[in-house]
Amino acid sequence: MRIIGIMSGTSYDAVEVAVAEFTVDGDDLVLHPLGEATIAYPPDVRAAIAALLPPAATTIGAVCRLHTTLGQVFAGAAVQGQRISGGTAELVVSHGQTVFHWVADGHALGTLQLGAPAWIAARTGRPVLSDVRTPDIARGGQGAPLVPVFDALLLGAAPTPRAALNLGGIANLTVVAPDGGVIGYDVGPAGALLDAAARRYYGEPYDVDGRHAAAGTVHSRLLAGLLAEPYYRQPPPKSTGKELFHEGYVDAAGLGADDVLATLTELTARLVATECDRQGVTEIVAAGGGTRNPVLMARLRALTRAAVTTTDAWGVPSAAKEAYAFALLGWLAWHGLPGALPSVTGARAAAVLGSWTPGARPLRLPEPRATPPRRLRVTTGQM
């Protein structure tokens, strides 16, 4: 089964598209990555997303316009995915663009991802799975992170704990214990604050190659204040987003711009290293845009006792890992299998994720599979 995964994260700089072919081999689910693409948001769309995100005020009209515009952008991304698949993709999974993740007193009460899926179905003729987080929240879960099911199947159990790390707008972590137990949670900010600072001080979408952080010096007092954030002391399951870590979060009056970037980079590295060492992790497999920041990756390697690699070594392109992960969630939902792990999200029961939008034909799902796959095996090369 060939599935297009479309992901737009909290950094909202681009849409990641990945096309995955899934086959079943005994207890294994075999993933063959067919290709991926990055589609940058036009400046006006980025500006519209930024204008709507907390703590900014907005109108229902602005929400409607952006919901429609993003649906059309994702439809174009899906068409590109169809080209990669040679027109053979059977399903599209669209995460949408998160604009609000409603958390109060440590409990997720709702979430909102924009990007009307009907535009995707109309352009491609394929069914679309969207609104993937809400079913978990309706069962008392955080609705995030959802990638741990991909991580757990890919990494598997090992003699010592291993972790999958995503460095997007938020740094989130999946830890797989030797007995196969899985926990996962949002650690704290990554690109959310770094990108906001790059835009504020330099008018740049992000700190390219970490060059501003490399030119700065970590400010100990600012770092200490940032590390005092109560969120970090909350036990998992927990999730967060730009509702907390937004552009106005950092008060760095009087500090040099490069020093602010250096301090924010150090913050992310310390948060991740502390959590990994606390969990006894011996290997970190990282993905996401943050892996392209050499300063952040160098500081993470210096601060943690764990070996640090990327998913590229496992056959999954690190820049597109989340898009491939959401393609997997689509395969699970298509076969009536849960995509959220209660041990990660804190839900009362595992949920089959998403809402369906039919394509050109009536939607007919197969009979649910009796058992989920035990392992995700990645193959490369021609099939």
Contact (CB, 8 A) for 344 and 151: no
Confidence band, pLDDT 50/70/90 cuts, at residue 10:
confident
321-378 pLDDT tens trace: 999 999 999 999 999 999 999 999 999 999 999 999 999 999 999 999 999 999 999 9
How far is the C-alpha of 182 from the C-alpha of 162, rounded, in Å?
Answer: 10
Contact (CB, 8 A) for 94 and 117: yes
pLDDT, mean of residues 194-199: 94
- pLDDT for the residue 323: 97
- pLDDT for the residue 312: 96
152 closest CA partner among 132, 129, 178: 178
How far is the C-alpha of 194 from the C-alpha of 206, rounded, in Å?
Answer: 7
How far is the C-alpha of 215 from the C-alpha of 195, rounded, in Å?
Answer: 16
- pLDDT for the residue 380: 84
pLDDT, mean of residues 309-324: 96
Residue 381 has pLDDT above 80, yes or no: no
Q: What is the pTM (predicted TM-score) of this model?
A: 0.95
Residue 293 has pLDDT above 70, yes or no: yes
CATH superfamily of 2-139+321-344+351-378: ATPase, nucleotide binding domain (3.30.420.40)
Q: Which amino acid is at 273?
A: A
- Mean of all residue pLDDT scores within the chain: 96
Burial readout 169-202 (b: 16 or more C-beta within 10 A, e: otherwise): bbbbbbbbbeeeebbbbbbbbbbbbbbbbbeebe
State percent of the chain over pLDDT 70: 99
CA distances from 109 to 106, 120, 286 (A): 9, 28, 29
Confidence band, pLDDT 50/70/90 cuts, at residue 382:
low
Torsion angles phi and psi, residue 34, rounded to 5: -90, -20
Q: Where are the domains of the chain?
A: 2-139+321-344+351-378, 148-314
CA atoms within 13 A on the CB side of 77: 33
Q: Which amino acid is at 259?
A: D
- pLDDT for the residue 253: 83
Confidence band, pLDDT 50/70/90 cuts, at residue 13:
confident
CATH superfamily of 148-314: ATPase, nucleotide binding domain (3.30.420.40)
- Measure the CA angle with vertex 353, ends 347 and 355; round to 5°: 130
Confidence band, pLDDT 50/70/90 cuts, at residue 143:
very high
How far is the C-alpha of 84 from the C-alpha of 77, rounded, in Å?
Answer: 11
- pLDDT for the residue 186: 96
CB proximity list for 8: less than 8 A, separation 6 or greater: 14, 15, 16, 70, 74, 95, 96, 97, 115
241-287 pLDDT tens trace: 989 998 889 988 889 999 999 999 999 999 999 999 999 999 999 99
pLDDT, mean of residues 111-127: 98
Could you check whether 2-139+321-344+351-378 and 148-314 share the same CATH topology? yes
62-108 pLDDT tens trace: 999 999 999 999 999 999 999 999 999 999 999 999 999 999 999 99
Which runs of consecutive H residues, i.e. helices, occur in the chain? 43-52, 60-85, 117-124, 134-138, 148-155, 191-202, 211-215, 220-227, 257-278, 294-303, 321-334, 342-345
